[in-house]
Structure 1
Amino acid sequence: MHILFLSDNFPPEVNAPASRTFEHCRQWVEAGHKVTVVTCAPNFPTGKLMNGYRNRLWQQEEIAGIRVIRVWSYITANEGFTKRTLDYLSYMVAGTIGALFVRKPDVIVGTSPQFFTAVAAWMVAFCKRRPWVFELRDIWPESIKTVGAVKEGIAIRLLERLEVFLYRASDRIVAVTHSFRDALARRGIDPAKIAVVTNGVDLSSFAPRPKDGVLVPELGLTGKFVAGYIGTHGMAHALETLLDAADRLARDPRGRDIVILMLGDGARKAALKAEAVSRGLDNLLFLDPVPKDQVSRYWSLLDVSIIHLRTSELFETVIPSKMFEALAMGIPILLGVRGEAADILNRSGGGETFTPESGEELAARLVALREDSALHRKYAEAGIAAAPQYERKALAARLADILADVASRRRGERGG
Structure 2
Amino acid sequence: MKILVVTQYFWPEEFRINDICEGLIEKGHEVEVLTGIPNYPYGKFYDGYSFLKKGKREYKGIKIKRVPIIPRGKDGFIKLALNYMSYTVSASIATARLLFNRYDRVFVFQLSPITLAIPGIIISKIKKIPSTIYIQDLWPESLYCIKEVSSEKVKSILDRLCMKIYNSFDNVLITSNGFKEKLIDRGMEKEKITYLPQWAEEFYRKENEYYNMELESEVLTVTFAGNIGKAQSVSTIIEAAKLAKNNKKIKWQIIGDGSEFENIKDLVKKYSLEETVYILGRKPAKDMPMYFSKANGLIVTLANEDILKATLPAKVQSYMASGKPIIAAISGEGNDVIKESCCGLVGEAEDYRKLYENVIELYNMNLDQRKKLGDNGKKFFEENFTREILLNKLNEIINI
TM-score normalised to structure 2 length: 0.91
Cα distance in 2 for partners of 1:260, 1:121 equals: 42
Residues 77 and 267 of structure 1 are in contact (CA less than 8 Å); yes or no, is this contact kept in structure 2? no
Structure-to-structure mapping, 1:91-240, within 5 angstroms: 91-102=87-98, 103-113=101-111, 114-148=113-147, 150-152=149-151, 154-202=153-201, 205-211=204-210, 224-240=219-235
What is the aligned partner in structure 2 of residue 321 from structure 1?
314
Structure-to-structure mapping, 1:273-292, within 5 angstroms: 273-282=265-274, 283-292=276-285
Cα distance in 1 for partners of 2:146, 2:114 equals: 17
Find the partner of 1:402 among 385, 397, 400.
Answer: 397
Identity %: 24
Cα distance in 2 for partners of 1:230, 1:56 equals: 34
Q: Could you say if the C-alpha distance between residues 38 and 349 of structure 1 is closer, same or farther in structure 2, counting changes exceeding 3 Å? A: same
Gaps of 5+ in 2: none
TM-score normalised to structure 1 length: 0.88
Deviation of 1:6 after TM superposition, in Å, equals: 0.9
Deviation of 1:56 after TM superposition, in Å, equals: 3.9
Render the CA deviation track for 1:201-235: whole Å, top value 9, x for unaligned. Answer: 245643453459xxx9xxxx996421111100011
Cα distance in 2 for partners of 1:84, 1:202 equals: 27
Residues 201 and 328 of structure 1 are in contact (CA less than 8 Å); yes or no, is this contact kept in structure 2? yes
Q: Could you say if the C-alpha distance between residues 256 and 28 of structure 1 is closer, same or farther in structure 2, counting changes exceeding 3 Å? A: same
What is the aligned partner in structure 1 of residue 347 from structure 2?
354
Deviation of 1:298 after TM superposition, in Å, equals: 2.1
Query: RCO greater where, 1 or 2, for CA within 8 Å and sep 6 or more?
Result: 1
Q: Could you say if the C-alpha distance between residues 79 and 343 of structure 1 is closer, same or farther in structure 2, counting changes exceeding 3 Å? A: farther
Is 1:241 aligned with 2:236? yes
Point out the more displaced range, 76-85 or 175-184: 76-85
Deviation of 1:184 after TM superposition, in Å, equals: 0.6
Point out the more displaced range, 54-63 or 34-43: 54-63
Structure 2 residue matching 1:37: 3-state secondary structure: strand
What is the aligned partner in structure 1 of residue 375 from structure 2?
381
Gaps of 5+ in 1: 406-416
Structure 1 residue matching 2:88: 3-state secondary structure: helix
Structure-to-structure mapping, 1:7-22, within 5 angstroms: 7-14=7-14, 18-19=15-16, 21-22=17-18
**Aligned pair count?**
391
Write the letter of the residue equivalent to 2:319. A
Residues 203 and 328 of structure 1 are in contact (CA less than 8 Å); yes or no, is this contact kept in structure 2? no
Q: Could you say if the C-alpha distance between residues 370 and 77 of structure 1 is closer, same or farther in structure 2, counting changes exceeding 3 Å? A: farther
Cα distance in 1 for partners of 2:264, 2:201 equals: 31
Structure 2 residue matching 1:121: 3-state secondary structure: helix
Q: Could you say if the C-alpha distance between residues 237 and 89 of structure 1 is closer, same or farther in structure 2, counting changes exceeding 3 Å? A: same
Residues 81 and 149 of structure 1 are in contact (CA less than 8 Å); yes or no, is this contact kept in structure 2? no
Render the CA deviation track for 1:301-337: whole Å, top value 9, x for unaligned. Answer: 2211110101122211100111111111111001212
Q: Could you say if the C-alpha distance between residues 211 and 270 of structure 1 is closer, same or farther in structure 2, counting changes exceeding 3 Å? A: farther
Structure 1 residue matching 2:252: 3-state secondary structure: strand
Cα distance in 2 for partners of 1:128, 1:97 equals: 15
Q: Could you say if the C-alpha distance between residues 222 and 382 of structure 1 is closer, same or farther in structure 2, counting changes exceeding 3 Å? A: closer
